[in-house]
Chains A and B, each alone.
Chain A
Amino acid sequence: MKIIKIFITILILLYFSPLKADEDRLQNNITKNLRCLICQGQSVYDSDSEFAISLKLVVRNKIKEGLSEDQIYNFLSEKYGEWILYDPKFNKNTYFLWFLPLLIFLFGGAIIFKKLIKIKR
């Protein structure tokens, strides 16, 4: 009887641990992308401030409630503004931010291209 009990316990532990690991990974991913608003230059994941500790708990609870990563980001940016996200969303306020590197890249490419043609001639 005892052996069966132990066997069942091990089985249950083995069954749940990957699920838990997935949750942890998701929580870490999310909190790494959240800015700790009261610390300087730290993510919620890195910080041990009271605010960050509570926020980690909230993220964990939301994951348990079955919310997806995007839903959690939406929930938090509704409360704290988009500033809380390290990875800003693509919208009309951030077009410039997202396209500027691409524009600079194209501009630089055009200059190099022009020079190359000149050298060839």
Chain B
Amino acid sequence: MKSKIISFLIIIPLILVFIIFYKGLNKSNFYEPESKIENIPVFTAITFFQKEKINSQNIFDKDKFYLLNIWASWCVPCKDEHPLLVNLSKNDKLEIIGLNYKDNFKNAEKFLNELGNPYKKILIDRDGTNAIEWGAFGVPETFLVFENKIVKKFIGPLNFKSIEEIEEIIK
């Protein structure tokens, strides 16, 4: 009787551990922050070409969709998504705003000259603090904004599927 109880006590935890690991290892370990920000953050930034100080309230002020794209010339996935952004910039229901993340002006300018400039405005985020205000943790990251609210967030480079999604929303 006693040995039965003991073997039972050993087997049950083993099964439990197996189930936990089986479930846990199947789960993707890519963590997406459960951000609670709905409204876009208020911040001031310097514009890329004119080097003027601008307040975020003066950027997202029109009654249209905005796409804030965090990018950098040193970021390889940004190069992949750039042609898609250039294509998307032809849509006049949408204004694409760039946030140049921890970049060097010369390299960023070269990047735009080579691959095209899809951005209506580009803001500079030299130290990465503006990206944090948006709840971003890297480049590239893209936010679809409407009426000062974040409608959709894309972590990582945009692909054909995400472009379709954006076009579906702004239709």
Contact = CB atoms under 8 A, between A and B. Distances in A.
A58 B127 CA distance: 9
A51 B37 contact: no
Contacts, number: 51
A3 B128 CA distance: 43
A80 B127 contact: no
A83 B129 contact: no
Interface residues of A, number: 18
B68 to A, nearest CB: 15
Contact of A50 (B34, B37, B128, B135): B128
Given A54-B128, A57-B127, A37 B34 contact: no
A97 interface: no
Contacts of A50: 102, 128, 138
Nearest to A82: B34
Contacts of A80: 33, 35, 135, 137
B137 A38 contact: yes
B23 interface: no
A61 interface: yes
Contact of B33 (A55, A58, A79): A79
Contacts of A58: 129, 132-133
Contact of A51 (B31, B36, B128, B134): B128
A87 interface: no
A58 B41 CA distance: 14
Contacts of B37: 78-79
Contacts of A101: none
B7 to A, nearest CB: 20
Interface of B: 31, 33-37, 102, 127-129, 131-135, 137-138
Kindly list the 3 A-B residue pairs having the minimum CB-CB distance in the complex, ordered from nearest. A54-B128, A81-B34, A79-B135
17 contacts: A37-B31, A50-B102, A50-B128, A51-B137, A53-B128, A54-B132, A55-B132, A57-B129, A58-B132, A78-B36, A79-B135, A80-B33, A80-B35, A81-B33, A81-B34, A82-B34, A84-B33
